[in-house]
Structures are given as structure tokens and as C-alpha cells.
Chains A and B, each alone.
Chain A
Amino acid sequence: MYKEFSPKSERNATDVTGAKVDTVAVSVESVPVSESQPFKKPARKQKEEAPLPLTEVKSQNSKVIAYYFHGTFRCSTCRTIEQYSLEAIQTYFAKELGSGKLEFRPVNIEEPENKHFIQDYQLVTRSLVLSLMSDGKETKWNNLADVWKLVRDKDKFFQYVKDEVEKFLKET
């Protein structure tokens, strides 16, 4: 059962497999990547915000959207990142996906109507971004920039996505 895991034991289990990390991933990891500013409220055009039926109904409704931003040109590493992100979310959060608490949304930032995301989330490349929505408004977001460092290590990648999504889901 994926839904009833204990986060602690799951984490330990994954860390054991993640211990045999390849050197590339480790050395890249030591490089600090731009800290996304989770509390900086992006200047977002409200009208382009896709309204979510769930969040509009009741005030206590809040949910997490996991955006995967890509361009028209899909490079192979980018495809892997998208696939891992989706797989990780489907593996660990099937219940939340089913209930609508969590949503995975691939977005092409080269479409004119999606251009605002580039500045909203400070996107410099293909990115996985978590967004916490409550009452139809975004209260918090985080650009998971480490997906690029961890893409060579599937276990670590899954653990990273799982941990970050959990943090956001806690606040819903």
C-alpha cells in the first residue's frame, strides 16, 4: 500500500539504496543552486490563473499543484525529469491525486498564454514547481531546482519529490 507508508521508515529505506550514488551526482550536488523564494509572492496576473473548481467552492479548500514546465523542444533529460516527477507523484500520492488534493500539470511555457509563468516562478529552464493554492489563491510556491542534480539517481529523485510534496501537502 503506497498510501499508508510511514514517512520515516520509507525515507530510511530509500536512503540505503541511495547510498551508492554515482560520483557525478554527488559532486554536482555540492554546488548551491539558486534558492527559490517560497515566500515571495509572484506578481501574477489573476485572470490567467486557471480557476480550479475545487478551490472555488469552499474556503477551507486548499490543494497543491505540481507544475512541470517544458518548452516545445523536448530534450531527453527533460523527458526523464517529467517522467520521474509524474511517476514519483503517482507512486507516493495516489490517494491525494484521486481526491484532488494534488494535481500534476504539464505546461508548455512557449505557449503565449503560459508566458507569465516564466517570471512568476523565475524559470530558467525546464522545471518542476510546487504551488500551494488556498481559496483559489496561491499562498506558497517552490521551484524544485534540485531535480536537475538528482536526475541521474532515480531513488534520490523520487525521495526529493516525495519530501517536498509532503511538506506542501501538510499545509493543505
Chain B
Amino acid sequence: MELFFLASAVWLGILTSVSPCPLATNIAAVSFISRRITQRNTVFLSGILYTLGRSLTYIVLGILIVKTLVDVPILSDFLQRYVNKILGIVLILVGMVLLDLLRIPLPIPSVSENVAKKLAEKGTFGSLPLGILFALAFCPVSAALFFGGLIPLAVKAQSGIGLPLIYGIGTGLPVMLFAFLVAAGTGYINNLYHRITRIEFYTKKATGIIFILVGVYYALAYIFELI
């Protein structure tokens, strides 16, 4: 029975990862994670952090629903109604930062360089909040799978942490797989070309463009309601 629950949670997660909305965000995530294409460990770690971020969101929602008496339909409606609107704006802004069209304004100039450097070093950890945010963006298909599929399982098993965690891993599986492939391929590329850092200039730009495109898609669909 336990195994059945676990297998169902993974399967629901995988189905979620290829449903339209999470697919769009997963594509953005893949480009975000692999923009440091020459740094094998960074890419791999990013993939894991992104997936953990997704799981974290599902765990928090799982605990809220299983352990407390949060009204599931209200929660689902709220997330679908508002998060997708915010997501479009966030994606466009992050995309602009990646393209250097926008600078993150920092109050004290002398500190800013240090902070900026630190932020860049910690770029890997940006994958965690990215996963958290992307997981919050529910749309009809993913809401049906999470609130209609996983949550009843979690309630039945009284598992507010375990099953949402497994489900989250399922939803990030394609991204992790891709990160793994990129990481595996990186060593090969590095052996061929010792000075390939230039490529990261382009991968960063590409990531910025993808973020803006996905952001525009979300904005058209959820803010302007055109799609």
C-alpha cells in the first residue's frame, strides 16, 4: 500500500511536469540551470535545488491541507487566480536582469559590487526560489493533478510531507534529468575547448530571452487574458 502511494505520487508528479503550465516553467528552469554550462557541479546542484524548491512548495501546501483545516478549493482558486499573474511579471523582470537590460538597484554603491558578486556566486541558489515560485503557479491541469490527485492520497495516508516531497521530485524529474545530461556533457566540452567561457555569455542571453518569452506568455494568458 505504501509503495502504491509512493508510485502514484511520482507518477502524478511526472504527469504534472509535462502538462502545459509546468512544462513552460520547466523549460525556463532548464535554461536557467544550464546557463552556467561550463560548470558541471553548478548545473547539477542547480537542478537538484530547483527540484527541492518545488518539493518545498508542495510540502508546505501538503502540511497546510493535511494538518490544518485549510479550505482546499479556496486555496486552489487563490493560487490559480493570482500567482500566475505575478509569475509573468517576475519572469519578465528576471529575464531583463539576465539580459542586462535592468540592474538590480542597490542603495549603497560601495557595497553593491560586493553584493552583486556574492549574488552571482550564489546564482546556483537562485534555483531554489525559482522552484518554489514555479511550483506555486497552478493551472487547470496541474491543479487537477495536485489538488484532485495527490492531496486526496496524502490525506488518506496522513502524509503531509512524504508524498508531496515525492510528488515534487516527480515534477522536477525532467529538469534534473536534463541538468544531469548537461553536467555529463560539460566535461566532454571542457576537454575539447579549454577556454569556452565565452559560451556562457550566450547561454545567459538565451536564458534571459526564454524567461521574457515565457513571462510574456503568462502575462498574455493571465493578466491580459488574450490566450
Contacts and interface: CB of A to CB of B under 8 A. Distances in A.
Interface of A: 24, 27-28, 30-35, 71-73, 75-78, 109-110, 118-119, 122-126, 145, 148
A133 to B, nearest CB: 22
B11 A118 contact: no
A30 B8 CA distance: 8
Contacts of A126: 140, 144
Looking at chain B's contact residues, the main secondary structure is helix
B44 to A, nearest CB: 30
A34 B139 contact: no
A146 to B, nearest CB: 10
A145 B227 CA distance: 25
What 9 pairs between A and B have smallest CB-CB spacing? A124-B147, A34-B152, A125-B143, A124-B76, A125-B144, A148-B144, A118-B73, A31-B8, A126-B140
Contacts of A34: 148, 151-152
A31 B145 CA distance: 10
Given A71-B80, A73-B139, A77-B141, A125 B8 contact: no
A90 to B, nearest CB: 23
Contacts, number: 79
B176 interface: no
A71 B139 CA distance: 10
Interface in B179-212: none
A160 B15 CA distance: 22
Interface of B: 8, 11-12, 15, 19-21, 71-74, 76-77, 80-81, 84, 139-141, 143-145, 147-149, 151-153, 156, 221-222, 225, 227
Contact of B153 (A31, A122, A124): A31
A125 B148 contact: yes
A110 B225 CA distance: 12
A122 B8 contact: no
Given A28-B15, A32-B156, A75-B20, A125 B149 contact: no
A51 to B, nearest CB: 25
Nearest to A115: B77
B218 to A, nearest CB: 10
A123 B73 contact: yes
B221 A73 contact: yes
A119 B71 contact: yes
A124 B141 CA distance: 10
